[in-house]
Structure 1
Amino acid sequence: MGLRAGNSRKKKSPEREVKRTPLGAVRRSQLITTYGVGSLVAFEDQSFVVSGLDSWKVPDQLDLFEFRLEQWLGVDGFHLPPASDPPAGDGVRIRRFPEMYACPGCTHGPSPDKSKCGPCCEENIRPFRHFNSPRGKSECAACGGDLTPSRFVVACENGHLDDFPYWAWVHNRTASTESSTSGGHQLSLRTTGRTASLSSIIISCTCGKPPVSMEGAFGRWAMKEIGVSCTGARPWLGRDAREQGCGLFPRALQRGSSAAWFPVVRSALSIPPFSQELHKQVRKHYKILSGENDETIMRLVGKTELKDRYEPADVVRAVRDYEAYAAGERPDPSTITGFEASDVLRVEEYKQLIRPSRTEDFESERPVPDPQAPVLAGIAETMLIKRLREVRALQTFTRVEAPMEGDQKDRYADLSVGEVKWLPAVEVVGEGVFLHLDQDRLKAWESAEPPAEQVQRAQQIREHHDAVLERRAGNRVPIPKSKVTARFVMIHTLAHALINEWSLDAGYPASSLRERLYVSDDMAGILVYTATSDSAGSLGGLVGQGEPRYFKKTLESALERISWCSADPLCMEAEANGADSLNMAACHACMLIPETSCETNNSFLDRAMLIGTPDGRTKGFFRNEH
């Protein structure tokens, strides 16, 4: 995937656009999960932000369809990120950000030898365009040194992004009576080299204000203390695309910080009936066929390529399937929840995963029973998912704090200036193993009277989660309540244990596997599937792990492995672990997996839910099987 520089000041002709030289490349899937719209990407000594969807060169006809996901997100379909070269595509536009650059060769200040002193010696940090860098390069015109983008930016919880306010940092942290303000305002940045801390980074101004270090700049209220509020800047949409009335105080971040961009990715599996070839072909013409009577649909089909492939009556039936689904009760597409495990999409998938099925994009079957390797108590059944297709779409993104259930809509950034009826997406074709738990055993485990220790442990996590939701809600009402239950924590922890085990035994790196949770009062299932379709994707090795003789061994080994952690007894006895104290007995040494493989950012985990505690107070769901 080629990334090409854009220009927000002057519109280029189509011919000029095509001839642009790519500045770098990333994989298509990374433009959904890592380098999507609004994210920062660095190439050599330059930094850029990925431009909005309205700058992408995509064909008029949509590339991907997944009807269930389209209905959820309220779009007409999806586009694959553009390819890097014509005619298949012309890459994705990027804009220079941050605009503040420094010239390291001029950090020494004015040279004693005035003949060697360039014009930038007293102003080595300023907007990139003021360095008069030659076209296509990033170097100082005065001294020829390579320019360096600012290490610091500011962002707010509503997704806005701007340059760090160096001028305000120097002047507002120093009383106006401490020095004169003569000599103009030319900023310079230097590093003392005494330590690696922010206190060694010194910002000076030629007006005479005392130099100020960057120490304290990352404080939660540092920008408020110097009177800097959010400007509503959206550099990925252009310099003039500011959003008015934000009202928040931004936070200083490292340019490469993960907190600078959190994608909100929604996904759905292609399941019957929409995964059948007939339905996929009808979907391409659904707009003109929907809402018509049977006779009109049959007449319209005669004008499409469908007439040579399918019976008109079958096409009518497929159209009616789409209409019935669209007319059903759908959740609010603007609602983004951190708990997708019980939403409508998951309920529909769960009903398909628990029974054998076969279509072009979805194939599941029961393994052959093995009397020598019965499934462990607590597991109702495993299913072999020999083929599945998942569509992942970038819906929006956040900054500073990761998205969480109950977030208000104004927290989510726009992907374009105007409304677009499509979203960028990729499809993954892979395989997996699905298991659903014994509901009777599960209900007995979670509803013991008096409340069992495992329920109380889940209650502690829920209280910590409620505190986070309340803090993030601020003055907004109503404040959402946590949905964490002992069932959810146990099933989520089991998924992590299986992924870690299969990464050792099945030859898959943990980052190539992914969990998909199905948890509600009526659901208790886990799908572990290949998250990539490259060389570590669909090779059959994961499906084989679902066979009874292998799965029994895997589960026993996983439970045995997590029964001890190198951080014990601290890990097992901890009353809180992880970010925002949303874990209990779970740490990097025992339960955490790559964040791309986990649906909840490695939160809501507790291995005591599976294997119990050494003192016997907490009964693990598999307490008799380890």
Structure 2
Amino acid sequence: MTPPPARRRRTGTAGQAPAHNLLRRGAVRRSQMITTYGVGSLVAVDHESFVVSGLDGAAEHWNPDESPRIYERRLARLLGVQHFRLPPASDDNSKDGVRVRRFPIMHSCPECNELRRHRDFTPPPGRSVCGTCEADLVPSRFVIACEAGHLDEFPYWHWVHRATGAGATTAGQCGGTLKLRSSGRSSSLRSILVSCTCGVPEVSMEGSFRKSALKDLGLRCRGTRPWLGTSVPAQSCGLSPRTLQRGSSAVWQPVLKSALSIPPWSDGRADPLAEHWDELRKLSSREEVEMCLKFAFKGESPVPVDEVMAFLDAEREEDPTGDEPPTFDRRDHALRNKEYERLRAGNDERERSRDEQFICETPLGDPTVLHPLGVTGPMLVKKLREVRALKAFTRLADPDSPTEGREAALSASELTWLPAMEVRGEGVFLRLDADRLDAWSRATAVAARAERIRTAHMRVMEQRATDPSRVPPSPATPRMVLLHTLAHVLINEWSLDAGYPAAALRERLYADDNMAGVLVYTATSDSAGSLGGLVAQGEPDRLARTIRSAVRRAEWCSSDPLCVEAEASGTGGTNLAACHACVMLPETSCEHNNVLLDRALLVGTPDDPDVGFFANI
């Protein structure tokens, strides 16, 4: 066959390479690029499957108009970046967007039953069909992954040849062609049959999901990261991979970090300084700051020097105190502590500018009606902005894994930005009476129930950790479990009264020795999050009725008495009296993946009613 003539590279009008006009494979919502289909996840488009590419080079090929920058200094400082970017929102005229790569590579043809790499079927350009049968190819239903975040093809050749004792070095050298078919007898793995034309016996996929199935074949993780492309070398790993369904939620879990925009950062006046904070933080005097600003902006600064000094003072207030090194957890705790102080204090009309994105007011009603309930300090958050950034992702384990070594990076190189989304809405903030809470927490029965949850949670974290000796302490204290469960029952109650479904509401907990607060707010990424239906529920009279109704509703569960008398429930026993029939929420609403819950700490148990904080009502 005569080779085709050499192709001359086309250039634009200015002699430059033309903009990419890549084949469009589908569309997802912008917010899903953070929560569901982020970097490293698998996306099914029609009958094809792709992995979302890493962020190397995305700063150049993401259109600034379709992927604008967003700023939240407190969160950027926590994550060590300068700014964030919204994932591109494209239309039919867009030249680029979020890029994907075909994965898995192994496909099967439903007509000839051959199981090959996609390109070995010689499909026509831009189509995913068998070159012989012209039937739509089916991506492999199975992939393998390890807890370090690596992702790879399922080793079909090793699986079908395991009885022959062939080692990993002889993979694919039998000269045969793999075939995949279904017997049709059932929908189980036993009916999915793999064979090879070299003559080895046909085997089913039954047993491939066992934890040690691939380890028994002598296979270890190869450290492949297909979302970063073939030019990035594989990492040294050696962990035992696990077989997963391509569409399983265990294949990809996001690691999200978020922060509320609070004064003085909530009016956007500090945004022009985003790329200069590292230099400004090193300076102490006003003269040095003024000189730095003149050099950075080549003239007059868009932000007055007095305001810059106020920003630096506000930032230093969030520095972790003490002699211990400023770890990520300590910086995150300092961030929450500052939000708690601002939610308690609020901001009156004199402090607001036209661009203010945080409005928090004291309700007009008499808050003393809440005192018999042990609730104090309600605040109406009439306007708020939250930025949620995708920091990394995990596979197999939950994203709240205690060690960062299991987090898979979004790029092969260091980034000065991360993908993020903005949430604008409203909320209600309330606190629990500190004296009553301390007295309740010291009760022997209360401490014993919380200790059971804490022990189970520590055990789960140690099992997931690469170094069990470095696992941080579990946050499962009586105060934490109580606040978490209270937030869940309030969300369930307000989903009936406020006009929002439970999945559109979200909790934000403030729980340690000096904090005891709950913020419930709308979690939508559009204007529907600020219709006023939730903030109206924060008036003291209405809030008191809501708490009483929520507690009464929590007294009974359709799974009782099994639920309330459970010795352990949830993942690894990290819950007690909690199930999907009473206090569990959609995953979009809960900060802690529906763990650290116990309804009994709200209402008590039949044997010991006094263990409940709200037992008196």
TM-score (norm 2): 0.88
Deviation larger for 550-559 or 237-246: 237-246
Displacement of 1:17: 5.1
Displacement of 1:468: 1.2
2:361 aligned with 1:361: no
Residue 248 of structure 1 aligns to a residue in which SS? Answer: coil
Question: 1:46 is matched with which residue?
Answer: 48
Aligned mates of 2:535, 2:298 — CA distance in 1: 37
Aligned mates of 1:336, 1:296 — CA distance in 2: 32
Letter in 2 for 1:40: L
Question: 1:421 is matched with which residue?
Answer: 416
Displacement of 1:286: 4.5
- Is the 1:393–1:425 Cα contact (8 Å) retained in structure 2? yes
Instruction: Give the 5 Å matches for 1:590-609.
Output: 590-609=582-601
Question: 1:213 is matched with which residue?
Answer: 204
Instruction: Give the 5 Å matches for 1:180-579.
Output: 184-283=175-274, 286=277, 291=282, 294-295=286-287, 297-298=289-290, 312-318=304-310, 320-321=312-313, 324=316, 335=328, 343-357=333-347, 358-359=351-352, 360-370=356-366, 373-407=369-403, 409-448=404-443, 451=444, 453-473=445-465, 476-534=468-526, 536-579=528-571
- Is the 2:220–2:240 Cα contact (8 Å) retained in structure 1? yes
2:128 aligned with 1:138: yes
Letter in 2 for 1:402: D
Aligned mates of 2:159, 2:123 — CA distance in 1: 26
Aligned mates of 2:298, 2:505 — CA distance in 1: 38
Seen in structure 2, the aligned counterparts of structure 1 residues 235 and 564 have a Cα distance that, compared at 3 Å, is same
Identity of matched residues, %: 52
- Is the 2:157–2:178 Cα contact (8 Å) retained in structure 1? yes
Residue of structure 2 aligned with 1:83, choices 89, 103, 106: 89
Question: 2:62 is matched with which residue?
Answer: 58
Seen in structure 2, the aligned counterparts of structure 1 residues 285 and 58 have a Cα distance that, compared at 3 Å, is farther
Displacement of 1:513: 0.6
Deviation larger for 261-270 or 55-64: 55-64
Seen in structure 2, the aligned counterparts of structure 1 residues 89 and 542 have a Cα distance that, compared at 3 Å, is farther
- Is the 1:182–1:208 Cα contact (8 Å) retained in structure 2? no
Aligned mates of 2:528, 2:265 — CA distance in 1: 27
Aligned length: 588
Aligned mates of 2:387, 2:26 — CA distance in 1: 26
Displacement of 1:410: 2.5
Seen in structure 2, the aligned counterparts of structure 1 residues 91 and 590 have a Cα distance that, compared at 3 Å, is same
Aligned mates of 1:291, 1:328 — CA distance in 2: 17
Deviation larger for 68-77 or 223-232: 68-77
Deviation larger for 469-478 or 132-141: 469-478
Question: 1:31 is matched with which residue?
Answer: 33
Letter in 2 for 1:397: F
- Is the 2:319–2:334 Cα contact (8 Å) retained in structure 1? no
Displacement of 1:307: 5.5
2:578 aligned with 1:586: yes
Aligned mates of 1:432, 1:233 — CA distance in 2: 43
Aligned mates of 1:55, 1:426 — CA distance in 2: 20
Aligned mates of 2:333, 2:367 — CA distance in 1: 36
Displacement of 1:413: 0.8
- Is the 1:267–1:390 Cα contact (8 Å) retained in structure 2? yes
Aligned mates of 2:80, 2:299 — CA distance in 1: 26
- Is the 2:365–2:540 Cα contact (8 Å) retained in structure 1? yes
What is the root-mean-square deviation in Å for CA atoms of aligned residues? 3.0
Residue of structure 2 aligned with 1:72, choices 53, 73, 78: 78
Displacement of 1:487: 1.3
Deviation larger for 210-219 or 167-176: 167-176
Letter in 2 for 1:48: F
- Is the 2:86–2:420 Cα contact (8 Å) retained in structure 1? yes
Displacement of 1:294: 3.1
Aligned mates of 1:87, 1:333 — CA distance in 2: 47
Displacement of 1:62: 7.3
Seen in structure 2, the aligned counterparts of structure 1 residues 305 and 587 have a Cα distance that, compared at 3 Å, is farther
Seen in structure 2, the aligned counterparts of structure 1 residues 42 and 188 have a Cα distance that, compared at 3 Å, is same
Displacement of 1:405: 4.6
- Is the 2:367–2:377 Cα contact (8 Å) retained in structure 1? no
Displacement of 1:582: 1.1
2:154 aligned with 1:164: yes
**Per-residue CA distance 1:342-381 (angstroms, 9 max, x = gap):** 8121111101111121541211111012389545421122
Displacement of 1:481: 3.8
Runs of 5+ unmatched residues, structure 1: 1-10, 108-123
Letter in 2 for 1:494: L
Aligned mates of 1:412, 1:489 — CA distance in 2: 26
Deviation larger for 217-226 or 281-290: 281-290
Aligned mates of 1:542, 1:285 — CA distance in 2: 38
Residue 545 of structure 1 aligns to a residue in which SS? Answer: helix
Seen in structure 2, the aligned counterparts of structure 1 residues 612 and 290 have a Cα distance that, compared at 3 Å, is closer
Displacement of 1:198: 0.6
Runs of 5+ unmatched residues, structure 2: 1-8
2:100 aligned with 1:94: yes
TM-score (norm 1): 0.87
Aligned mates of 1:171, 1:92 — CA distance in 2: 39
Residue 254 of structure 2 aligns to a residue in which SS? Answer: strand
**Per-residue CA distance 1:31-82 (angstroms, 9 max, x = gap):** 1111110000010000000000114223689712211111111111111112
Seen in structure 2, the aligned counterparts of structure 1 residues 277 and 186 have a Cα distance that, compared at 3 Å, is closer
Seen in structure 2, the aligned counterparts of structure 1 residues 157 and 392 have a Cα distance that, compared at 3 Å, is same
Residue 101 of structure 1 aligns to a residue in which SS? Answer: strand
Residue 269 of structure 2 aligns to a residue in which SS? Answer: helix
Residue 564 of structure 2 aligns to a residue in which SS? Answer: helix
Residue of structure 1 aligned with 2:111, choices 81, 105, 110: 105
Aligned mates of 1:494, 1:290 — CA distance in 2: 40
- Is the 1:41–1:50 Cα contact (8 Å) retained in structure 2? yes
Aligned mates of 1:291, 1:322 — CA distance in 2: 15
Displacement of 1:97: 0.3
Seen in structure 2, the aligned counterparts of structure 1 residues 326 and 176 have a Cα distance that, compared at 3 Å, is closer
